[in-house]
Structure 1
């Protein structure tokens, strides 16, 4: 039973780590930007991209990674899977949010606010 739980946790860590790395590639986030979002160093993010580091369910970076993937999925749905449109939205000043979303998601509060904003917008559509 404990072995199955450990295997499941390791698999969750791998899956989320790969998903976060894919989000960063799709949105063309630098290691510094992704590190700021997850609370990790640029060097650690580089290892994440290379597969030498995995987010761990017991750390805050894992939870922030979940928020990032949630934001990606919501924005991807809203933009019709158009990565260029999503990147443009992220990098353009948003009057409702008061800043560029890509700048806001560098903090925990900003990541949560942007994810909630996109989810709320999707609910109206």
Structure 2
């Protein structure tokens, strides 16, 4: 009996596709997504075309997981309103000391945003 094909995409494929969708929803340029993931803009372009995937053993993969966590938390908190999530990212937040979109540029900032949104989600 032939082996059945795995109906589930592997972690790298699934996360890579999710990151591309998040970049589309939030209108993140290749340069901005590259800064977030620690990749060059050309590598991000290949990621968006499906010519490459995030390596599960890399820091880029970890950053992608955090970006996905932030997206899902905002999605739950804001009722799947992508425009509201984008506005939240671009609006000055006194608690965070700046615009959340600027915090995405560092791993520490990405973790801070995830924790911040998760804290407010827990209160809802």
Residues 24-52 of structure 1, C-alpha deviations (whole Å, 9 max, x = no match):
10111111110000000011001000001
2:55 matched residue in structure 1: 56
Where do 1:59-70 residues align within 5 Å?
59-70=58-69
Where do 1:109-124 residues align within 5 Å?
109-124=108-123
Q: Distance in 2 between matches of 1:44 and 1:101?
A: 24
Scaled by the length of structure 2, what TM-score is found?
Answer: 0.92
Question: Unaligned stretches of 5+ in structure 2?
Answer: 1-5
1:5 matched residue in structure 2: none
Q: Distance in 2 between matches of 1:98 and 1:32?
A: 23
The answer to whether residue 78 in structure 2 is matched with residue 94 in structure 1 is no
More helix by share: 1
Q: Distance in 2 between matches of 1:77 and 1:33?
A: 24
Runs of 4+ in 1 over 6 A off after TM superposition: none
Question: Unaligned stretches of 5+ in structure 1?
Answer: 1-7
Secondary structure of 1:84's partner? Answer: helix
Residues 35-92 of structure 1, C-alpha deviations (whole Å, 9 max, x = no match):
0000000110010000011001111100100000000000011111111100000000
Q: Distance in 2 between matches of 1:45 and 1:100?
A: 23
